[in-house]
Structure 1
């Protein structure tokens, strides 16, 4: 899946008014950018929420998927369930071999995000950063597991990427953005959707930096030496 798994669109859906609701940005069947034909299959209205069951027809692969969206009004209806469920993101073998726990945590955060549990997703992406960073440090330095374990995330970032702004800055953005998902006290104007997108964008940069370092450390071919 791409960095941003969902998007909001406007559609009348034969309701007499414009509805803004969340759908996947990629078809859950074929993975192609998603601009489906949408039909409203069912509507459930309660005093505090409106629920639409949507049938989406992919204009590329022709397959149909089901999306359930819910909102207090029709201008911000959030995806609650999708069939089929999006496939978990797959990672390069270099990262799988370096840090299998990072892969597991990232995919757990991704699942939490897909069902709307943004606080859990933010915590999960932050945890995946720490696991990847420390597994990288364990494999690429002489520091022991016991020593690395004593460092909090901020200290670990500075120690292992302090001389590399391409690694340090993205890691710090993820760490600091994650504070508002983890801590009790956060700004009144906190926007979890925007903050999560920012976190993921910078986490992606950090993942790329680590992958690049692994590619250099483990090239598929080596220069012949006499």
Structure 2
């Protein structure tokens, strides 16, 4: 049921509690006071009512339309709105300047997996996290061998066994251990049956964070070792 007579937040306030006048625009990610374009009241299969707002960002450099959906609950004086979701989906993208210098592909793929997880696509985001780790490892190996004249870059790019590649090309045992275990969990996300039943997406992300941490620590140590030669 469309309720087009509501075209401003003051009218919404008179009917509902829990209306958030200021929004985090999912397009430009700025806190804005949006313009209310339209709203619609609908019901799901269980007769639960929802209110969806069509909003326009007030940031002059954005001005995009987006949706906010609320569940409607019966209150004492007014109906109460409970936030459900927004579209496009707003999520905190992973950013790291140092990691981006090693692998822009990792940043892109990891954030795609993170967005999939944010909107509830839990059956596919694990495979995305595992793929992002493969790109990070291969790009890291290429990065640390930039000045190695005998280095075979195509062998790294085409390698099908990333775990074997890690053990062959990376000397840091902490990176090797964290990456190997991350691939174990990541592979579970792509297989019909799981080997590690007590591990989940958060464990996979934790292990990827460990890999990143030890990679960054190695690069920092190498940098100071080069600068502080006697």
What range describes the TM-score normalised by the shorter chain of this pair?
0.5 to 0.7
Aligned partner of 1:182 in structure 2 is 190
Q: Does 1:137 align with 2:141?
A: yes
Aligned partner of 1:204 in structure 2 is 209
CA distance in 2 between partners of 1:100 and 1:199 (Å):
20
Pick closer, same or farther for the CA change 1:187–1:42 going to 2, 3 Å. farther
Q: Does 1:97 align with 2:105?
A: no
CA distance in 2 between partners of 1:205 and 1:138 (Å):
20
Give 1 or 2 for the bigger CA radius of gyration. 2
TM-score by length of 2: 0.58
TM-superposed CA distance for 1:111, in Å, is 0.8
3-state DSSP of counterpart to 1:176: helix
Aligned partner of 2:43 in structure 1 is 44
Pick closer, same or farther for the CA change 1:43–1:180 going to 2, 3 Å. farther
3-state DSSP of counterpart to 2:44: strand
Q: Does 1:88 align with 2:97?
A: no
Q: Does structure 2 retain, via aligned residues, the 8 Å contact 1:68–1:81?
A: no
Kindly indicate whether structure 1 or structure 2 has the higher relative contact order, using CA contacts under 8 Å at least 6 residues apart. Answer: 1
TM-superposed CA distance for 1:174, in Å, is 1.7
Aligned partner of 2:167 in structure 1 is 158
Aligned partner of 2:11 in structure 1 is none
3-state DSSP of counterpart to 1:46: coil
For residues 158-207 of structure 1, the C-alpha deviation after alignment (integer angstroms, 9 at most, x for no partner) is: 2234x533212221222111222212x2149958xx61011001110001
Pick closer, same or farther for the CA change 1:214–1:164 going to 2, 3 Å. closer
CA distance in 1 between partners of 2:51 and 2:222 (Å):
50
For residues 132-178 of structure 1, the C-alpha deviation after alignment (integer angstroms, 9 at most, x for no partner) is: 111111121332211212432121122234x5332122212221112
Aligned length: 165
CA distance in 2 between partners of 1:156 and 1:189 (Å):
22
Q: Does structure 2 retain, via aligned residues, the 8 Å contact 1:112–1:120?
A: yes
Provide the alpha-carbon RMSD of the alignment: 3.8
Pick closer, same or farther for the CA change 1:42–1:106 going to 2, 3 Å. same
Instruction: Give the gaps of 5 or more residues in structure 2.
Output: 1-28, 32-39, 54-66, 72-83
CA distance in 2 between partners of 1:52 and 1:218 (Å):
56
Aligned partner of 1:15 in structure 2 is none
Q: Does structure 2 retain, via aligned residues, the 8 Å contact 1:67–1:83?
A: no
